[in-house]
Structures are given as C-alpha cells and as structure tokens.
C-alpha cells in the first residue's frame, strides 16, 4: 500500500483470506484499499463490519472517517461520531492496534499523527513493524536528519524475522548515497527472500534502467 499499489494490495489480502480465513486485518486492508481506489461506499461497507474488532478497531474507525470525508456529500455528524470514537478507543489500544493505526495514517499522509501512534507502539515493546514504519516515515519526511534517524530505526528493527519493508528501506538508504549497484544488490536480496513482493521488482527495474542494463530490465519485466 505504501507504494500506492492498491490493486495488488487487495489481491494479496484476498489471497491471504483464502489461506487464513476471515482475518480482520486482511478485511481492513481490503476495505481501506477500496476507499483509496475511489470505491468509497464498498470500502465503507467492508470497514463497518470490523470497526468493533480488537486490534483493527482504531484503524478501521480512522479509515471510515477518511472515507466519509471523501464522499461528495459529507455526513458531518457521522464524521464527528467516528472521531469521538477514535479518541475513546485509542486510549485503550494495545501494541497492535497502535501499529495498524499508525501504518494507516502514514499511508494517507497524516505523518504527525502516524508518528504519535507508532511511537506509542514502540514504547510498549519496541515492535519491529512499528520501527520499520517509523523509519520509512523519516525517509518520507525528507528532513535533514531523517536519513540518520531512519538508519537507526532500521538497525533497531533487525531481528530473527526477515521483513521485505526492512530490506527495501535499507536499499533506499544505500540509493540515497548514490550507490545504485549496492542498492540493486539489496533489492535482489529482497526478491530472493520475498518472490511476490511487487514493489521490489519495480524498484529493481527502475535501478536497472538508471544503470542502462537493458537485458536485465527485460528479464525483470518478464517476471
């Protein structure tokens, strides 16, 4: 979702539901993606079904509020009720609830709010996913000391569980140093470990184009 591949994100979520059943988080991704694609009423219907589910309640309420604001005719009363509910629920939110809400806010460009939620999740348990998302947030903000902060956050996120966004983030740090071949190596490592991670394949093509490696561009495109 971070790379705006909403259709791909929906496909992945649906595939996940086929494998793991009606997981509320996967349902959230489907609903939130539909809203971002402009299928607002469909998205609202999906999100309404999970707005009271543990861990996805806050992110679902945030997505519903965003969806209502995107409607041609805004139901101001509904928005106010949703915002009031968010304030109430976030006080009781656990680590995962804060992480999912922070991720969603980051994806829709609400960076200050995202930082607030993610920092709370990190404070609770140094959550790996929260650290990775905070690192990407620092890169997105593009501030002078953001790269150093991102590098530190990605380093803290290193652990036993490999994560494509962590590899991808480290690749972006290498690219910012204009080391395109080093970045390409890290992206290739991401693809080896996560075959279906579309953003990495697209990034690999972009880097190969920059390096004018035409044969490899075609090979990657065919994948």
pLDDT for position 106: 95
Share of the chain above pLDDT 90, in %: 60
pTM comes to 0.84
Instruction: Show the tokens assigned to 157.
Output: 């996120």
pLDDT for position 19: 58
Range name among 119-128, 184-193, 209-218 with the lowest pLDDT average: 209-218
By C-alpha distance, which of 199, 202, 169 is closest to 186? Answer: 169
User: Residue 93 pLDDT more than 90?
Assistant: yes
pLDDT confidence of 5, banded at 50, 70, 90? very low
Higher pLDDT, 190 or 81: 81
d(CA 137, CA 194): 22
User: Residue 21 pLDDT more than 70?
Assistant: no
User: Residue 108 pLDDT more than 90?
Assistant: yes
User: Residue 14 pLDDT more than 80?
Assistant: no
pLDDT for position 211: 65
Residues 6+ apart with CB under 8 A from 222: none
pLDDT for position 213: 66
pLDDT for position 220: 57
The ranges assigned to domains in the chain are 162-223
Range name among 94-98, 130-134, 167-171 with the lowest pLDDT average: 167-171
Give start and end residues of each alpha helix (H) in the chain.
6-20, 24-36, 40-48, 57-70, 76-90, 95-107, 111-125, 128-141, 146-157, 164-176, 180-193, 198-210, 214-222
Give residue-wise pLDDT tens across range 165-199.
999 899 999 989 888 889 989 988 888 888 877 77
Instruction: Show the tokens assigned to 158.
Output: 């290193």
What is the second-level CATH architecture of the domain 162-223? Alpha Horseshoe (1.25)
pLDDT confidence of 81, banded at 50, 70, 90? very high
Q: DSSP string spanning 17-45?
A: HHHH-S-HHHHHHHHHHHHHTT-HHHHHH
d(CA 203, CA 3): 10
Cβ proximity of 137 and 167 under 8 Å: no
pLDDT for position 204: 79
């Amino acid at each position: 979702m971070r790379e705006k591949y909403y259709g791909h994100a929906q496909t992945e979520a649906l595939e996940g539901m086929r494998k793991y059943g009606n997981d509320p988080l996967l349902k959230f991704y489907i609903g939130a993606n539909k809203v971002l694609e402009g299928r607002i009423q469909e998205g609202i219907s999906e999100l309404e079904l999970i707005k009271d589910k543990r861990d996805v309640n806050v992110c679902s309420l945030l997505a519903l509020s965003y969806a209502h604001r995107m409607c041609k005719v805004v139901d101001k009363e509904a928005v106010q009720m949703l915002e009031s509910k968010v304030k109430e629920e976030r006080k009781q939110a656990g680590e995962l609830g804060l992480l999912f809400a922070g991720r969603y806010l980051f994806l829709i460009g609400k960076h200050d709010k995202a930082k607030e939620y993610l920092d709370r999740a990190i404070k609770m348990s140094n959550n790996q996913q929260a650290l990775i998302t905070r690192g990407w947030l620092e890169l997105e903000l593009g501030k002078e000391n953001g790269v150093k902060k991102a590098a530190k956050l990605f380093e803290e996120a290193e652990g036993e569980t490999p994560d494509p966004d962590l590899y991808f983030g480290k690749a972006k740090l290498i690219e910012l140093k204009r080391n395109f071949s080093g970045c390409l190596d890290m992206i290739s490592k991401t693809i080896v470990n996560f075959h279906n991670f579309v953003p990495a394949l697209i990034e690999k093509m972009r880097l190969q184009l920059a390096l004018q490696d035409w044969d490899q561009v075609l090979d990657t495109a065919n994948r």
